[in-house]
Amino acid sequence: MNGSTLSVTEQGVTYPKGFRASGVASGIKRSLRPDLALLVSDREASAAGVFTTNRIRAAPVLLTEEILARQGGMSRGVVVVSGVANALTGPEGYADSARVIELAEQALGASHGSLLHAATGVIGPRIPLPAIERHIGAAVEALAPTREGGFRAASAILTTDTTTKEAAVAVKLADGTRVRVAGMAKGSGMIAPSLAPPHATTLAFLSTDAKVDSEDLQTVLNQEADRTFNMVSVDGDTSTNDTVLLFANGAAGGCSAGKDPAFVRAVGAVLEQLAKAVARDGEGATKMLTVHVAGAEDAAEARSAAKAIARSVLVKTALFGADPNVGRIACALGYSGARFDASRLRVDLREKGNRWPLIQNGTPVPGLDNGMGHRLHALLRRMDEVVLEVELGNGVADATAWGCDLSYGYVHINAHYRT
Amino acid sequence: MNGSTLSVTEQGVTYPKGFRASGVASGIKRSLRPDLALLVSDREASAAGVFTTNRIRAAPVLLTEEILARQGGMSRGVVVVSGVANALTGPEGYADSARVIELAEQALGASHGSLLHAATGVIGPRIPLPAIERHIGAAVEALAPTREGGFRAASAILTTDTTTKEAAVAVKLADGTRVRVAGMAKGSGMIAPSLAPPHATTLAFLSTDAKVDSEDLQTVLNQEADRTFNMVSVDGDTSTNDTVLLFANGAAGGCSAGKDPAFVRAVGAVLEQLAKAVARDGEGATKMLTVHVAGAEDAAEARSAAKAIARSVLVKTALFGADPNVGRIACALGYSGARFDASRLRVDLREKGNRWPLIQNGTPVPGLDNGMGHRLHALLRRMDEVVLEVELGNGVADATAWGCDLSYGYVHINAHYRT
């Protein structure tokens, strides 16, 4: 089910047929960067969503879950606000978000219940409704089925992100139909997905022109989001606003794709690409970290072990310093909850085709304090993607987690910027 | 059972009768700072220990647990090495630690099984035995029942710590006997105790001249270490070497103190003082953080909620920036697993006699974006101890956790120093 063999391009959410998107600046962000995004299907689409497990859930999360249930998993699209999370805002915040949806539906000429909603930004402040009222018309007018429309939407959902995150793939189904799956995401800090289905992380919006009923769509999203977005950790803080939505409008025709392995693989490939983009763009990150754990007793332990390393603050700072500190990796494995015999532990550093052993039979390779340590330090310094491969020697389950280093930049951003 | 009403002084482990201590430089630390410590009771003492829950346990932890069990909880003291953790060193590391104990027992003229052992420092490298062989004699000769002896031992167990950590208290038992309890600790990074009894964190060694059998002693240590050391978080990484040992030699005479509330309170007061000293000396810390959570459904949820805030990287960086970022506090509570109704949540910042509300009825106090926010920023900037009080409004259980901020200094220390 690994989608990495598919050719993923950087097309955006307008790549599948029958989707339009836009992004405009409403003035919520003082920087006047775009902060109001729309993703709309020309026809009604099946929709599926996974949401944060945080007990404090932002108003847009509460509303979107309600609407999805009430509309039986059918939707026209989503209106996204960035700059304010609209979390911790009580009943007033809930009413604000309902009004944002209403304004978007009116401007679009769509019926009540057509649109979903997400937000990201500072927790606490309310959405400035006059800004939305003034600019929602422009956002609807700007809706375009073009690459540019998708890019503008991908730009308008960002906060501390330094780049847009888009991914797209086309696959041929068993019945010969060619379908497209695409997505956009944001996420840079407060990233530690905790999404037992139906729960998720960060913001990501996917579109596909495959024909899939909403029940199958939810099953595919649960499974693939759990394998991808749920395995990303930037800082270990699970947000109040995490939302992943997937819209399938059937514009490609053909038979139902809900159980087609090629479709599942395509959704997985887009989610994985976006999840990795979130890890790579972690606040202040200078290196991306991929941790692959094999030989675990079961999938849950493989996941725990991989995530423990990817989210360890000590591993992250060592990575920033290009320090081949194998003790911290072993330490994180030790408290991860995964069962293993320390004397069989193996950890390798992989760089393209090369493999550098770090721990063999439970002990660090010789020379980490001098010659070998210096070579690995030099190697780590020039890597911007570090891959660790762990073999627990206790079974056959495996898992992959993604993260990044923890730099002075991370401290700077989070000591002096409100998220 | 809160010991804060007791008068805790900065005397060290030699404050109780019948204990001697020393610390010398053996050359393990390249800085030539002291790295070999002894704490010895003149007579055989009851001993209790709590140890790390990390699956990878350093050789000294394995050995000390074995010896404690084999000797039926009786011991003369402990030999501590700092600079190397002797973790991830396999059977050779285990033999090294057994040899360290043997060398110390021979130099002391004590029988096999008399001493326990702990170590802290870099994971991976082995203990340089020749250094111990050369200097253990000097360490035994330097043993002194004085304040200076205790201080030298407290110095010799440090790694990235910036200060020694000592605490002592004297109490009168129900039978009129005056007993003393004292302790020393080290800990600055890789601090996130995970100690379901009989498990613990960081290094701490306590001495008392009270008469207590080893079973009662273990019960008291389990309970009080869980309330104190287990509630400290510097970076969320649970070490491979965490060890807390408590020796009771009965030199004060009197009846058994094992169930005397005054004794329990004294042990708790010393542990709490040491635990707070570890939090205050967190790597790179500029501010100490105390989080008190009340109104939880049960003790476990109160503890989870308090620890989630104290260990949140986003709360820690906001604290470093003196940013009154209430959203991050609420976010951490939301993913802590504690149950509460967000609309009843209350969070206060306390400064000495003053109380500043941050969140009331689940919403941030007005003005955090401007006037009130600026006042709180100025207030936080000059505080070096920040106290947050959380009321969940869901029950009567409470808990306290301790932590510190996350600064550029933390990143510097951990990117460029091996622990």
Q: Which residues of chain A make contact with B240, given a CB cutoff of 8 A?
A: 327, 330-331, 334
Average pLDDT across chain B, whole number = 91
Same domain, B215 and B259: yes
**B142 and A CB contact within 8 Å:** no
Structure tokens at B302: 């109160």
User: Cβ B418–A323 below 8 Å, yes or no?
Assistant: yes
User: Would you state the pLDDT for residue A2?
Assistant: 43
Give the whole-number percent of chain A exceeding pLDDT 70: 95
Strand-strand pairing, B397-404 and B346-351: unpaired
Contact by Cβ (8 Å): B274, B244 = no
User: Would you state the pLDDT for residue A138?
Assistant: 98
User: Would you state the pLDDT for residue A207?
Assistant: 96
User: Cβ A411–B361 below 8 Å, yes or no?
Assistant: no
Q: Which residues of chain B make contact with A340, given a CB cutoff of 8 A?
A: 55
What distance in Å separates residue A168's CA from the closest CA in chain B? 32
Q: Tens of pLDDT along B160-217?
A: 888 999 999 999 999 999 999 999 999 876 655 554 333 334 899 999 999 999 999 9
Same domain, A19 and A109: yes
Give the whole-number percent of chain B exceeding pLDDT 70: 95
**B113 vs B45, B58, B138, B268, CA distance in Å?**
13, 19, 21, 28
- For residue B205, give the CATH number of its domain: 3.60.70.12
B contact residues 198-237, partner A, Cβ 8 Å cutoff: 235-237
Can you tell me which residue has the tokens 């000097």?
A: B138
Least reliable range by pLDDT among A243-252, B191-200, B251-260: B191-200
Structure tokens at B349: 């910042």
Q: Which entry of B89, B201, B228, B400 is annotated as an active-site residue?
A: B201
Same domain, A86 and A212: yes
Helix (H, G, I), strand (E, B) or coil at A187: coil
User: Cβ A327–B363 below 8 Å, yes or no?
Assistant: no
Range of the domain at B341: 288-416
- Mean pLDDT, residues B7-21: 94
Same domain, B91 and B199: yes
- The 8-class DSSP code of residue B239 comes to P
B contact residues 357-386, partner A, Cβ 8 Å cutoff: 359, 361-364, 368-369
Query: What is the residue-wise DSSP string for B168-234?
Result: EEEEE-TTS-EEEEEEEEE-SSS------SSB--SEEEEEE-S---HHHHHHHHHHHHHHTGGGB-S
Same domain, B302 and B238: no
Contact by Cβ (8 Å): B379, B385 = no
Backbone angles phi, psi at A164, to 5 degrees: -70, 155
Strand-strand pairing, A203-208 and A178-186: antiparallel
Contact by Cβ (8 Å): A221, A265 = no
Is residue A410's pLDDT more than 90? no
The number of distinct structural domains making up chain A is: 2
Look at B383 and B4; give whichever has higher pLDDT.
B383
Helix (H, G, I), strand (E, B) or coil at A298: coil
Same domain, A10 and A156: yes
Residues in a beta bridge with B20 = B40
Q: Which residues of chain B make contact with A188, given a CB cutoff of 8 A?
A: none
A contact residues 274-333, partner B, Cβ 8 Å cutoff: 312-314, 317-318, 320-321, 323, 325-328, 330-333
Q: Tens of pLDDT along A138-181?
A: 999 999 999 999 999 999 999 888 899 999 999 999 999 999 99
Same domain, B274 and B292: no
Q: Which residues of chain A make contact with B341, given a CB cutoff of 8 A?
A: none
Q: What share of chain A is helix, strand, coil (3-state, %, to 5)?
A: 35, 25, 35
- Cα separation, B229 vs B194, in Å, equals 9
Contact by Cβ (8 Å): A73, A218 = yes
**B196 and A CB contact within 8 Å:** no
Same domain, A237 and A342: no
Same domain, B98 and B240: yes
Look at B371 and A391; give whichever has higher pLDDT.
A391
- Mean pLDDT, residues B352-379: 90
Structure tokens at A382: 């020039």
Domain boundary among A261, A280, A299: A280
- Mean pLDDT, residues A379-383: 92
User: Would you state the pLDDT for residue A199?
Assistant: 32
Q: Tens of pLDDT along A303-317?
A: 999 999 998 888 999
User: Would you state the pLDDT for residue B383?
Assistant: 92
Q: Tens of pLDDT along A71-100?
A: 999 999 999 999 999 999 999 999 999 999
**Strand (E) positions, B254-405?**
288-296, 346-351, 354-360, 363-364, 385-391, 397-404
**B163 and A CB contact within 8 Å:** no
Same domain, B29 and B142: yes
The sign of the torsion formed by the CA atoms of A228, A232, A238, A239 equals negative
- Mean pLDDT, residues B251-278: 94
Q: Tens of pLDDT along B283-329?
A: 888 999 999 999 999 999 999 999 999 988 889 999 999 999 898 89
- Mean pLDDT, residues B387-411: 94
Q: Tens of pLDDT along A273-308?
A: 999 998 888 888 899 999 999 999 999 999 999 999
A contact residues 107-126, partner B, Cβ 8 Å cutoff: 122-125
Look at A409 and A113; give whichever has higher pLDDT.
A113
Same domain, A132 and A250: yes
- For residue A324, give the CATH number of its domain: 3.10.20.340
Average pLDDT across chain A, whole number = 91
Active-site residues of A, by number, are 201
Domain boundary among A249, A280, A311: A280
Domain boundary among B280, B305, B339: B280
Q: Show the CA angle centred on residue A208, arms to residues A205 and A213, nearest 5°.
A: 100
User: Would you state the pLDDT for residue A195?
Assistant: 43
Q: Tens of pLDDT along B316-353?
A: 999 999 999 898 899 899 989 999 998 999 999 998 88
**A395 and B CB contact within 8 Å:** no
- Cα separation, A123 vs B112, in Å, equals 61
Q: Is the ipTM of this complex over 0.90?
A: no
Is residue A225's pLDDT more than 60? yes
Same domain, B249 and B368: no
